[in-house]
Chains A and B, each alone.
Chain A
Amino acid sequence: MAKILYIEDIQDNITFVERIIKSRGHEFLYAQNAEQGLELAITSKPDLILLDLGLPDADGQTLSVWLRGNPSISSTPIIVLTAWPEEVARQTVNAYNLNGYLCKPFSLPSLVKMIDSVLEENAHED
Chain B
Amino acid sequence: MLMKIEIIPADRFTIQELTELYNQTRVDYLVPMPMNADRLAEYVHDFDVDLKQSCIARDMNGQVLGLSMLGIRGDIAWITRLGVLPSTRRTGAGSELMDRMLENADLLGLTETHLEVIENNEPAYKLFQKKGFVETETYLVMRHAPRPLSESLQGHVTWLDFDSALEKLETYPEHITWINAFESMKNSPNTEGLYLELPNGDSGWLVYRNTKFTLRSTLSHLIIHTEKGDSQVVGTQLLSHLHTHFPNHDTYAENIHENDPHLTAFNTLGYFTNFARIEMRRKKK
A: which residues have CB within 8 A of B? 9-10, 33, 35, 38, 53-59, 61-62, 64-66, 69, 83-84, 88, 91-92, 95-97
Contacts and interface: CB of A to CB of B under 8 A. Distances in A.
Contacts of A62: 213, 216, 218, 250, 252
Given A57-B36, A88-B275, A10 B145 contact: no
Nearest to A42: B215
A10 to B, nearest CB: 6
Interface of B: 19, 23, 27-36, 38-39, 143-147, 213-216, 218, 248-250, 252, 270, 272, 274-275
A83 B216 CA distance: 25
Contacts of A96: 145
A95 B32 contact: no
Contact of B23 (A35, A56, A65, A97): A56
Given A58-B213, A66-B215, A69-B248, A33 B36 contact: yes
Contacts of B29: 83
A112 B146 CA distance: 30
B25 to A, nearest CB: 13
Contacts of A84: 31-32, 274
Contacts of B38: 57
Nearest to B37: A56
A35 B143 contact: no
A56 B22 CA distance: 11
A20 to B, nearest CB: 20
A35 B29 CA distance: 23
B213 A88 contact: no
Q: What secondary structure prevails in chain B residues at the interface with A?
A: loop
3 cross-chain pairs, A with B, having the tightest CB-CB distances, nearest first: A54-B32, A56-B36, A95-B145
B275 A35 contact: no
Contact of A56 (B39, B250, B252): B39
B36 A65 contact: no
Q: Which of B28, B36, B214 has the largest count of A CB atoms less than 10 A from its CB? A: B36
Contacts of A97: 145
A55 B32 CA distance: 8
Nearest to B36: A56
Contact of B272 (A54, A55, A69, A91): A91
A57 B275 contact: no
B214 A95 contact: no
A56 B38 CA distance: 10
Nearest to A97: B145
B139 to A, nearest CB: 16
A88 to B, nearest CB: 6
Contact of A55 (B30, B34, B144, B250): B34
Contacts of B250: 61-62, 65
B29 to A, nearest CB: 8
B32 A83 contact: yes
B34 A56 contact: yes
A89 to B, nearest CB: 10
B34 A9 contact: yes
Contacts of B147: 95
A33 B30 CA distance: 20
20 contacts: A9-B23, A10-B27, A35-B215, A56-B23, A58-B213, A59-B33, A61-B143, A61-B250, A62-B213, A62-B218, A62-B250, A65-B145, A65-B216, A83-B29, A84-B31, A92-B143, A95-B144, A95-B147, A95-B272, A96-B145
